[in-house]
Amino acid sequence: MKKAVAAASVILCLFAIPLWAVSYVSSLPQTLSTSGETYQLNGDLTLNTGTAITVGASNVTLDCQGRTIAGGVRICL
């Protein structure tokens, strides 16, 4: 019985660990510089001038999660 509980605990711990990297964008400006990374907006963000987000690596995902980036800004790819 103890072995079954230990095995179940290991399996549950494996599912709790994310298999991909996620970074959160909570302010602007921001450079997305880690290849293979997923970046998520933490909330609606505003930047009045300049470049809001610069993508500086390959294979980057920006997940806005239904949130907005507002202002007189650009996003450079």
Instruction: State the distance between the two ends of the chain, measured CA to CA, in whole angstroms.
Output: 55
- The closest of 58, 59, 22 to 42, measured between CA atoms, is 22
Instruction: Give SS3 for 43.
Output: coil
Residue 3: the pLDDT is 52
pLDDT at residue 62 tops 60: yes
DSSP symbol at 18: -
**pLDDT band per the 50, 70, 90 thresholds, residue 60:** very high
Query: At 32, is the pLDDT very low, low, confident or very high (cuts 50, 70, 90)?
Result: very high
Report which of 1, 2, 62, 68 is spatially closest to residue 32, judged by C-alpha positions: 62
Q: What predicted TM-score, i.e. pTM, was given to this entire model?
A: 0.69
What's the confidence (pLDDT) of residue 19?
Answer: 57
Residue 37: pLDDT band with limits 50, 70, 90? very high
pLDDT of residue 73 exceeding 80, the answer is no
